[in-house]
Amino acid sequence: PPRVFSGIQPTGVPHIGNYVGAIRNWVELQKKYDSVLLCIVDLHSITVPQDPQQLRQNIFDMTACLLACGINPERSILFQQSHVAEHAELAWTLGCLCTLPRLQHLPQWREKSGKYKEPGLGLFTYPVLQAADILLYKATDVPVGEDQIHHIELTRHLAKSFNRNYGVVFPSCKVVMGDVPKIRSLRNPMAKMSKSEPNPLSRIELTDSPDDIAEKIKKAVTDSTSEVTYAPDTRPGVSNLIDIHMAFSGLFAEEICEHAYLKALDTGLYKQEVSEVVIEKLRPISDTIRRLQADRSYLEKVLKSGQERAKTLAGATMCEVKQAMGLS
């Protein structure tokens, strides 16, 4: 039976890129699939240094945000990765089937390792952990961004290797992708919007107040042309604002530009329009996040129940894996 698995790192409060690129899509998938697992992938987040107190807070904040966005914890299994030890266990097993060159060639490793003088082993092997996340639940459909496609290919490769060596345990999985463009940083429209980017002006977080949102959009980097036109390659700043506008309104770029032209909006005035759209859409979500953040025991209850349900599935797969490999 089809089963969805996806994850998000608790590296900060999710931003509008995470929302339109992932979370909102998950809310829709809950309606289409009977079995959806959504994982707060804390083991992935520790591949780079994290402050323990901040990480703990981020896990609860992420839980509150996902629920506020419409994740239904009864319909979906919402849980914290490190609370199901089988993730690490299966990752080790799959790591034994994975060659070094396969990991060395992955574009994300080349990109990320360059940022650190002495990158850790976790950063190198995290695609194997990602494969374990998916295979542990025998997930068939994996909603991820374009940057993750190589990792899903690795997952399929490791599943095949395992099945060939030890007998068929894992199904094949495929990527399911939304057609939303990557939302870019408001400070540097060449980079994507990111939770862990040090400058908070670069992103709109789901908990931002209307004033914060207006301020950040007002300060968003554009260019010296005042017209509102959509040209992601040559005018990435203003085009990013149009992407955000499109994602929150359902309008097309042409409609937005035509409207701006008819109302003689320059980029400054247009920014105010984008702010209003984003503020209105985020208001109910941020109100709910604040309410849920104040109810720690409810958040704990949700994660606990998710853990139990995930563990049942994970334990069954690990039994099969151990049996097949001669470990039991």
By CB under 6 A, name the one of 65, 78, 183, 282 that touches ligand AQP.
Answer: 183
Task: Name the strand (E) or helix (H) holding 317.
Answer: helix 296-325
Fill in the DSSP letter of residue 114: T
Based on the shown chain and the rule CB under 6 A, indicate whether residue 22 belongs to the binding site for ligand AQP: yes
Angle at the Cα of 76 from the Cα atoms of 75 and 79, rounded to 5 degrees: 140
Spatial distance between the Cα atoms of 314 and 37, rounded to a whole number of angstroms:
11
Nearer to ligand AQP among residue 7 and residue 321 (C-beta): 7
Q: How many CB atoms lie within 10 A of CB 52?
A: 8
Active-site annotation holder among 112, 160, 281, 311: 112
Query: Two tokens at 7?
Result: 């994850």
By CB under 6 A, name the one of 4, 8, 214, 318 that touches ligand AQP.
Answer: 8
Smallest gap from Cβ 213 to ligand AQP, in A, equals: 16
- Total chain residues near ligand AQP (CB under 6 A): 17
β partners of residue 176 = 143
Residue 294 main-chain phi, psi, to 5 deg: -80, -10
Based on the shown chain and the rule CB under 6 A, indicate whether residue 196 belongs to the binding site for ligand AQP: yes
Contact 281, 70 (CB under 8 A): no
Spatial distance between the Cα atoms of 79 and 208, rounded to a whole number of angstroms:
25
Nearer to ligand AQP among residue 160 and residue 281 (C-beta): 281
Contact 94, 131 (CB under 8 A): yes
Segment contacting ligand AQP by CB under 6 A, of 7-15, 232-240, 253-261, 267-275: 7-15
Spatial distance between the Cα atoms of 69 and 46, rounded to a whole number of angstroms:
25
By CB under 6 A, name the one of 21, 73, 189, 306 that touches ligand AQP.
Answer: 21
Contact 239, 230 (CB under 8 A): yes
Spatial distance between the Cα atoms of 67 and 216, rounded to a whole number of angstroms:
25
Nearer to ligand AQP among residue 9 and residue 317 (C-beta): 9
Based on the shown chain and the rule CB under 6 A, indicate whether residue 245 belongs to the binding site for ligand AQP: no
Active-site annotation holder among 31, 32, 160, 192: 192
By CB under 6 A, name the one of 182, 259, 281, 311 that touches ligand AQP.
Answer: 182
Q: Which residue is nearest to ligand AQP (CB)?
A: 21
Active-site residue flag, 32:
no
By CB under 6 A, name the one of 187, 195, 216, 271 that touches ligand AQP.
Answer: 195
Active-site residue flag, 311:
no
The residue type found at 88 is A
Smallest gap from Cβ 147 to ligand AQP, in A, equals: 7
Q: Which residues are catalytic?
A: 112, 192, 195
Site for ligand AQP, rule CB under 6 A: 7-9, 11, 17-18, 21-22, 144-145, 182-183, 192-196
